[in-house]
């Protein structure tokens, strides 16, 4: 039996090669995975032209996945440096990389990235349009925007952020509801500006069916972008954000009808006490589609430390049911991240994702923690380093301050509770001198 996309296959009861791979990674029954894909609760972003891909599932009941953003810009146009970041992200087991390149002819970088990446690749086609056509935003035609989508699909992109929720109707809501920080989404601001300059409907909304046809042909998962996501605590959960979320839910239904897999993108900056309710709203309004959040960043006062503010929000969001975390680095709001910034962002996001998986009871999540606890009980430092989420940093910290007793650390020394309890329980002498 033939099928066009993973969603089409699932609806027809066909188990694909990608489903088998994901089921094995997640240690779940493939029939259960198939049913979740058929319902739209899980997606497997896997473009037919991405040959290097090791597929991952995103959605309900699966491990929380993380995404790493990178790409060239006008001020930092170093393709090789960005590719090195991508290689490091893959080495650190990030499941997804988004190419947010916004300058020049990005075809070469995108294709080199797809060629080496076992991680799924996402893009935001509207970013590419300005450099690709080398003309003012106002002068780009709707058909040219759609051609960029098609080019990315042909190149092998697994999922694309499409800002179709900011249409003329949601734009009017934005105009009537004053915000402290207006529109902070790069794609959202570009399309709002295009609509205002041309007095026309958002082409990604007006020609949404054409985009769905492209996605269905290459099995591109559509990530419905949150153009009106809150960019500061003051704007969170406002009328603009919720109106767009309702629109995204309507667009998701249209995508399902054409067998296109859907992810919904979410906030943004948000108070701690609003996160759980926002996840519930997305799941209700968007038919259980996987929720992909940037952070959420839970306070606006920590430039230089936003990997921490983001990890706090990400852990709460994922524990509440969000499925996919977009990492944030210490450089957020300040500059393009370096490879060291990227590493810190990945570690922070992976900690948040794993903490949430423990809370959600994801299968096998606790095995890792229990193995670490057993290694600590035995004071097996090599095993602790092997199990650490960042072995390099753990080894460096210990080597910088070695204890007199190699079993202990320089924090407690002879008063090490673990060492002394091991000895007293086995009847050994415990000497603190």
Q: Which residues define the annotated binding site for substrate?
A: 69, 98, 127, 163, 185-187, 226-229, 265, 292
Rounded CA-CA distance 65/59 in Å is 9
How does DSSP assign 142-186, residue by residue?
Answer: HHHHHHHHHHHHHHT-SEEEE--S--HHHHHHHHHS--SS----H
Is the alpha carbon torsion for 173, 175, 178, 183 positive or negative? positive
Known binding residues for [4Fe-4S] cluster are 409, 412, 416
Other CB atoms within 10 A of residue 74 CB: 9
Lookup: tokens for 161? 């952020």
Q: What backbone phi and psi angles, to 5 degrees, belong to 137? A: -55, -45
Lookup: tokens for 164? 């179709």
Buried b (16+ CB within 10 A) or exposed e, 83-117: bebbebbbebebbbbbbbbbbbebeebbeebbeeb
Known binding residues for Zn(2+) are 269, 333
Q: What backbone phi and psi angles, to 5 degrees, belong to 325? A: -110, 125
Rounded CA-CA distance 349/315 in Å is 8
Whether the CB-CB separation of 146 and 207 falls below 8 Å is answered with yes
Lookup: tokens for 135? 């003309």
Q: Could you give the angle at the alpha carbon of 220 between the alpha carbons of 214 and 226, nearest 5°?
A: 100
- The 8-class DSSP code of residue 304 comes to T
Rounded CA-CA distance 178/166 in Å is 16
Rounded CA-CA distance 244/206 in Å is 15
Rounded CA-CA distance 158/121 in Å is 5
Judge residue 122's burial from the number of C-beta atoms within 10 Å of its C-beta, 0-12 exposed, 13-18 middle, 19 or more buried: buried
Known binding residues are 69, 98, 127, 163, 185-187, 226-229, 265, 269, 292, 333, 409, 412, 416
């Amino acid at each position: 039996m033939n099928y066009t996309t993973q969603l089409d296959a699932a609806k027809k009861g066909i188990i694909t090669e990608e489903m088998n791979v994901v089921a094995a990674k997640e240690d779940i029954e493939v029939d259960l995975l198939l049913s979740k894909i058929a319902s739209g609760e899980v997606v497997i972003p896997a473009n037919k032209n991405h040959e290097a891909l090791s597929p991952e599932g995103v959605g309900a009941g699966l491990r929380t996945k993380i995404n790493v953003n990178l790409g060239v810009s006008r001020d930092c146009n170093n393709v090789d440096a960005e590719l090195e970041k991508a290689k490091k992200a893959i080495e650190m087991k990030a499941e997804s990389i988004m190419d947010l390149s916004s300058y020049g002819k990005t075809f070469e970088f995108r294709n080199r990235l797809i060629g080496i990446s076992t991680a799924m690749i996402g893009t935001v086609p509207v970013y590419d349009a300005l450099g690709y056509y080398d003309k003012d935003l106002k002068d780009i035609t709707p058909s040219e925007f759609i051609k960029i989508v098609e080019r990315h699909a042909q190149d092998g992109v697994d999922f694309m952020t499409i800002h179709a929720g900011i249409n003329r109707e949601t734009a009017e809501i934005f105009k009537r509801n004053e915000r402290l920080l207006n529109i902070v989404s790069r794609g959202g601001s570009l399309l709002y500006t295009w609509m205002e300059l041309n007095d026309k409907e958002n082409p990604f909304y007006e020609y949404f069916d054409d985009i769905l046809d492209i996605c269905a042909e290459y099995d591109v998962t559509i990530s419905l972008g949150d153009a009106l996501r809150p960019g500061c605590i003051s704007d969170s959960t406002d009328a603009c954000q919720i109106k767009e979320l309702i629109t995204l839910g309507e667009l998701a239904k249209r995508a399902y009808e054409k067998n296109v897999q859907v992810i919904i993108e979410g906030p943004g900056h948000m108070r701690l006490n609003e996160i759980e309710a926002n996840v519930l709203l997305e799941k209700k309004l968007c038919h259980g589609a996987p929720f992909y959040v940037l952070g959420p960043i839970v306070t606006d006062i920590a430039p230089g430390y936003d990997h921490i503010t983001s990890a706090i929000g990400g852990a709460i969001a994922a524990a509440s049911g969000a499925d996919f975390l977009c990492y944030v680095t210490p450089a957020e709001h300040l500059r393009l991240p370096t490879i060291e910034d990227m590493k810190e962002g990945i570690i922070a996001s992976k900690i948040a994702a794993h903490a949430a998986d423990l809370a959600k009871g994801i299968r096998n999540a606790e095995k890792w923690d229990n193995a670490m606890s057993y290694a600590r009980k035995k004071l097996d430092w090599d095993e602790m380093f092997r199990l650490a989420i960042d072995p390099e940093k753990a080894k460096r910290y210990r080597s910088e301050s070695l204890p007199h007793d190699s079993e202990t650390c320089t924090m407690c020394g002879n008063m090490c509770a673990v060492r002394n309890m091991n000895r007293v329980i086995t009847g050994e002498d415990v000497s603190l001198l």
